[in-house]
Each structure stands twice: as C-alpha cells, then as structure tokens.
Copies of this chain bind each other. A is one copy, B any other.
Amino acid sequence: MTRPTIHDVARVAGVSLSTVDRVLNDREGVREKTRSRVMSAINSLGFERNIAAANLSRKRRYRLCFILPDGQNSFMRVLEEDVAEEAAAALRDFTVIETRKVPAFDAGALAELLRSLDPESVDGVAMVATDATIVRIAVRELRARGVAVVTLVSDLPGSEKQGFVGIDNVQAGRTAGSLLGRFCRGRTGRIAMVSGSMLLRDHAERRLGFEQVLRSEFPDQTIIAPLEGLDDKDRVRDQLAERLAQDPDIVGVYSLGAGNRGVAEALSGLPAGRDVSVVVHELTRFSREALLDGSFDAVLHQNSRREVQGAIELLRRLLDGEPQPALSEPIRVEIYMRDNLP
C-alpha cells in the first residue's frame, strides 16, 4: 500500500541512492549495465518518483513572463486579471510570473521587448503574438538564448514558438455560421459581419470559417462585405447602424472582434418589429447583460483563465525538459446563450 521510494529501488538494484538518481534524471556517468539493473528494479517495483519531494529538494523556480497588448480591448484586460490571479496561485508552485504590456498591434515594440529579455532573470515567455516577421526573428533569438516561448490567444505560425494556447479561430467562425444560419432559417435575407480589421489573423480566420459554413449550408442567405470597426465602439455603432438602416433585409449580425457595445447600440436603434439575430465573441459583463436582455442571441467564448493556466503548464513542462508537451485538453470554442450562462 505504501509506494516504493528510491531507497527501495537502490536496495533492490544493489546500488546507492545517487546512482538511482542519476538513472532517473538521465545524468552522465552510469555504466550501461548498472543503468539497466536500476531500470529493472524500477519496473519490477512499479516505482514512480515523488515529484513534490523532488521539487522540494531541488528548489526549482520557474520565472515566467507574460506579454499582453495594452489598450482598451476588454478581453485583453480580463486576460490580464487572469494572469494576475494565476500568478498568485502559481507562487505556491514555485512559479514567479511577471506581466509586461506592449502597445497593441505594434510588432516593433513587441520585438524590442522580446530582445530585451534576459535569460538570467526569465526562464519562459508566454505572449499574445502580433503577426510579423520582425517578431518571428525576435522569437528565434530568444529561443537561442535558452528561453522557452509559447504563444497565447493569438498565434505566430512559422515561428520557433514551442506551443500555442488558444482556440481554433476558423472553428469559431464556423460555429458562428452554424448558429446564425439556424437562427435565421425561415427569414432569408442578408447577413452582416463586423470585424476589427481584416489585417488581424484571428479575425480573418473567423471570417473564413463563417463564410464556409454559410455558403455551403445556408446558401439562401447573402453575406455582405464585412464592416471594419477597428474594435472601436463608436465606429462600430455608426457603421452598423447605417448599414441596418439602408438594408432592411439584414436578418443576422456576426461580430467577430471587439466592439460589442457598438453592436448593441446600433441594434437598439432599430424599429420595434425588426428582428435581427446576433452572434458575437467573448463573454464579458456587457455581453452577458446583452444575452440576458435579449439583444444578443449567442456569444462565442474562449476561457481565458484556462488559457493562462495552459500556458503556465506548457512552459513549466518545457522547462522540465519535456520535448513536445501538449495541453491535456484543448481550449474549446464555448457557446453561451442566455440560459447556460455560468
């Protein structure tokens, strides 16, 4: 009933504790014969090392740096809070987390920050990436200096990052299409899309998925060219309100970036009889209220808390030397409606 320890392994193999330790940690200087003796002792006893004891002994500390975009985007501010809370919790696991902010969508600033990172004080980095070559280069240099790097929420394909923690945005767009298509069934007309900017990778991917599904599954609906609201509430409101007024056949709206307030305001100006189904992204205080009062029909969400936890987990496992760590469970595209709000 009591688990075997390295003492047991050492006894059975007829060697000392240090030799067992060497074998366990793949250290140099063990004869092949000895190693196999130890290995068979391990197997026959079913030994599994006690990680807590190992960490206690080794006084391992993980120093992580989270890099987030600055600015008003409320999803990012929630993410920042999540990082702060998880940082407090992570302290108990000997993990120290520092948060740095860079101007949003400023690849130069991000690259510069990455370049300034000192491996003497940082073991691993989790970053919300801005998609640019200069950032890829900075990532490569950082890796060369021995720092682990993963991307968070927004990926950097083609870089030397060792992992990505976030949702599949094409899938998110497809899900939005699937929902909105069904919601608008029986009311053939036009569907409006509101994006931040098609220059953003995430937004482009969501649009792609959305159009795929709508075209193939709900061909009766017409998609109109996306409005680019630059994630700015007022711009989104003005553009969408104008479009809704011009085009009485719009029966559905998919907002795939920030600017939910603008969407809600534009809709609130509609005449009483007009019925428009709405799907947006990110569950916040605001979108939650909008679900409850019926302004929005569904909200697609990514669990930013779990994303932060995932990034921490991934970095720790990279630093522990695991070659290709993967998240135990992927981050999912969650669907919220008024009635399954958490």
Residues of A with Cβ closer than 8 Å to B? 1, 3, 48, 50-53, 55-56, 91-92, 96, 171-172, 174-175, 177-179, 182-183, 185-187, 209, 213, 277, 297, 305, 329-330, 332-340, 342
- Rounded to whole angstroms, the CA-CA distance of A333 and B53 in the bound complex is 38
**Shortest beta-carbon distance from A334 to chain B in Å:** 7
CB neighbours of A171 from chain B (8 A) = 339-340
What would be 27 A-B contacts, judged by CB atoms less than 8 Å apart?
A: A48-B91, A48-B92, A50-B56, A50-B92, A51-B92, A52-B53, A52-B55, A52-B56, A53-B56, A56-B56, A174-B339, A175-B337, A175-B340, A177-B339, A178-B339, A182-B277, A183-B185, A185-B185, A185-B186, A185-B187, A209-B339, A213-B339, A330-B342, A332-B342, A334-B335, A335-B336, A335-B340
Instruction: Known A-B contacts: A182-B183, A335-B337. Give 5 more (CB < 8 A).
Output: A48-B91, A178-B338, A333-B340, A335-B335, A335-B336
- Rounded to whole angstroms, the CA-CA distance of A336 and B339 in the bound complex is 15
**CB nearest neighbor in B for A52:** B52
**Shortest beta-carbon distance from A6 to chain B in Å:** 14
- Rounded to whole angstroms, the CA-CA distance of A74 and B157 in the bound complex is 39
CB neighbours of A51 from chain B (8 A) = 92
CB neighbours of A183 from chain B (8 A) = 182-183, 185
CB neighbours of A330 from chain B (8 A) = 342
**CB nearest neighbor in B for A168:** B340
Pick from B175, B186, B339: contact of A186, CB below 8 A.
B186
- Rounded to whole angstroms, the CA-CA distance of A178 and B294 in the bound complex is 11
Verify A297–B182 contact, CB threshold 8 A.
yes
CB neighbours of A332 from chain B (8 A) = 334, 340, 342
Q: A178 and B337 in contact (CB under 8 A), knowing A183-B185, A185-B186, A186-B185?
A: yes
Q: A179 and B337 in contact (CB under 8 A), knowing A52-B56, A56-B56, A342-B330?
A: yes
**CB nearest neighbor in B for A300:** B340
- Rounded to whole angstroms, the CA-CA distance of A213 and B294 in the bound complex is 13
Closest 8 CB pairs of A and B: A186-B186, A174-B339, A52-B52, A335-B335, A175-B340, A333-B340, A175-B339, A178-B339
